[in-house]
Amino acid sequence: MVMSRIIGPRVAPGELSRHGLRYGAPGFLFLLARVLILVSLFLPYWHMALVAPQYPDNLHLTAHVNALSGDVAEIDGLNHYIGMRSLHEAAQIERRVGVYVLILFVVLLEIAAWIHNRWAALLALPAVTFPGVFLLDLHLWMSHFGQNLDPHAPLSSSIDPFVPPILGTGVVGQFKTVATPGIGLMLSAAASLVIIVALFFHRRAYRPLVIAARSD
């Protein structure tokens, strides 16, 4: 009885054969969301281009969930002169656990597809909110670094504290920053939308069974 309350009512074989699409749609959509999240693991989540006259090809920074790549050393060198800390110091814990967190989301979605009550929504919630949390965390780190410049840096007096935009275009001194989402973040956001649709069909399919089970 306790287990039934946790995992929700099971669908009778006859009912499943008559309404296969109704009961199959949530599972298929949860599967699609899991695939999107897994693929996003291997793709960039965020890009930033630093535009400056002395760099004809600009400087480029790319962030995955577990690593930074691109012209990190060159950007750190420029940031040093204005008193901004190295980018490698940002989000160290997040980059260390990022891959495992996304894999955990995949496992939670697998369980959510098997559970036939409202607990499925709770299990799916972390994956739904992840793209927003990623951008918020990025904003907080950029804000922390830009607002806490070293006053003893060589060019500290030439620039005021700033917050580089995490999306769009910003201006820092003589430099312009252009930040865009990576394909990984877009896939993660697509997964969030798919999960929301999956939860809609999940509720439509299984809520009547939950209500019927309570009335028995």
Please report whether residue 79 resides in a domain. yes
Structural domain total, the chain? 1
pLDDT digits (tens, 9 = 90+) for 154-183: 876 778 888 889 999 998 877 899 999 999
pLDDT digits (tens, 9 = 90+) for 60-103: 999 999 999 999 999 999 888 888 999 999 999 999 999 999 99
Among residues 50, 157, 146, which one has the least CA distance to residue 90?
146
Please report whether residue 214 resides in a domain. no
- 51 and 175 in contact (C-beta within 8 Å)? yes
Please report whether residue 158 resides in a domain. yes
131 phi, psi to nearest 5 deg: -55, -40
% pLDDT > 70, the chain: 89
Please report whether residue 72 resides in a domain. yes
Q: Name the residue range of residue 88's domain.
A: 41-101+124-191
- 160 and 171 in contact (C-beta within 8 Å)? no
- 95 and 88 in contact (C-beta within 8 Å)? no
Please report whether residue 96 resides in a domain. yes
Residue 216 has pLDDT above 80, yes or no: no
- Note the pLDDT of residue 152: 86
Higher-pLDDT residue of 9 and 24 is 24
- Note the pLDDT of residue 144: 93
Please report whether residue 206 resides in a domain. no
Does pTM surpass 0.75? Answer: yes
Please report whether residue 89 resides in a domain. yes
Cα three-residue angle 66-69-71, rounded to 5 degrees: 155
- 164 and 172 in contact (C-beta within 8 Å)? yes
